[in-house]
Structure 1
Amino acid sequence: MHNFKKLKIWNERMELVSESYKITRSFPKFETYGLMSQMNRCAVSIPSNISEGTSKSTNKHFRSYLEHSLGSAFEWETQLNVAFNESYISEEKFNELEDKIKQIQKMISSFKSGLNGS
């Protein structure tokens, strides 16, 4: 078992959650239960799956939760693209967040690969 609060992959995901909430506040009101909600739930899912995975008794089970976290990261990236395509965020913010989510995806993949099969 791991202490999720000490994991860099968890802490950086929590920063993404804050960033997601920050940018979605400026989305149009009609997106409250659409893209805004979906992006924020997805962002929360990334560190949530990491923390839940740390409670599992084997690395095999932990890897499964990391896989879910990675899936949420890719889903959030897609939603970021939708937000940009709909002109909800600037190109500068899009590029910044796209770089951040790609880094997150690499970190999760790398961490997952580093866990042995026990």
Structure 2
Amino acid sequence: MHKVEDLKIWQKAIELVKLVYLLIAELPSDEKYGLISQIKRSAISIPSNIAEGAGRNSNKEFIHFLSIANGSTYELQTQLILVLELNLSTKQKVSTLIDACIEIQKMNYSFQKTLKENDLNTQY
């Protein structure tokens, strides 16, 4: 088990959610049940799945939830691109969030690799 609050990837994901909420506060209210709802779900899913995985009993289970979290970062990235394509926000505001998604994706892949290596090392 990992203490989730100590995980840098979880901390970055929490920061991303806060930034996402600042952005969606500026989006048109007619998107409340459409794109805004999807963006919220994707963003919240990232730290939530990291936390759930951290609370599991094995690295294999943790990796599974990190994989789900990674899928959510790609989903959020796609939705943010749609925000740009639909001219709902500025490139400057959205690019920061997309960059944060990419950073979390890279951290996630690296963390999964480390967990897999740790599992291999403890088997022998």
Q: For the superposition of Structure 1 and Structure 2, which TM-score range results when normalised by the shorter chain? A: over 0.9
* Correspondence for 2:69: 69
Provide the aligned length of Structure 1 versus Structure 2. Answer: 118
How much has 1:34 moved relative to structure 2?
0.7
Specify the code of the residue in structure 2 equivalent to 1:108: N
How much has 1:114 moved relative to structure 2?
0.7
Counterpart-to-counterpart distance in 1, 2:101 and 2:54: 21
How much has 1:74 moved relative to structure 2?
0.3
Unaligned runs of 5+ in 2: none
How much has 1:10 moved relative to structure 2?
0.3
* Correspondence for 1:86: 86
Deviation per residue, 1:80-114 (Å, 9 max, x gap): 00001111110111222221111111011111111
Q: TM-score w.r.t. structure 1 length?
A: 0.96
How much has 1:49 moved relative to structure 2?
0.2
Q: Which runs of 4+ in 1 moved over 2 A?
A: none
* Correspondence for 1:37: 37
Matches within 5 A, 1:3-22: 3-22=3-22
* Correspondence for 2:27: 27
Counterpart-to-counterpart distance in 2, 1:91 and 1:73: 18
Q: Which has the larger radius of gyration?
A: 2
Specify the code of the residue in structure 1 equivalent to 2:102: K
Deviation per residue, 1:14-44 (Å, 9 max, x gap): 0000111110111111110111011011100
Deviation per residue, 1:24-81 (Å, 9 max, x gap): 1111111101110110111000000000001111100100000000000000000000
Counterpart-to-counterpart distance in 2, 1:25 and 1:93: 12
SS for the counterpart of 2:13 is helix
* Correspondence for 1:97: 97
Provide the aligned C-alpha RMSD in A. 1.1
Counterpart-to-counterpart distance in 2, 1:7 and 1:96: 21
Specify the code of the residue in structure 2 equivalent to 1:93: K
What is the aligned-residue identity percentage? 40
Q: Is the 8 A contact 2:20 2:97 kept in 1?
A: no
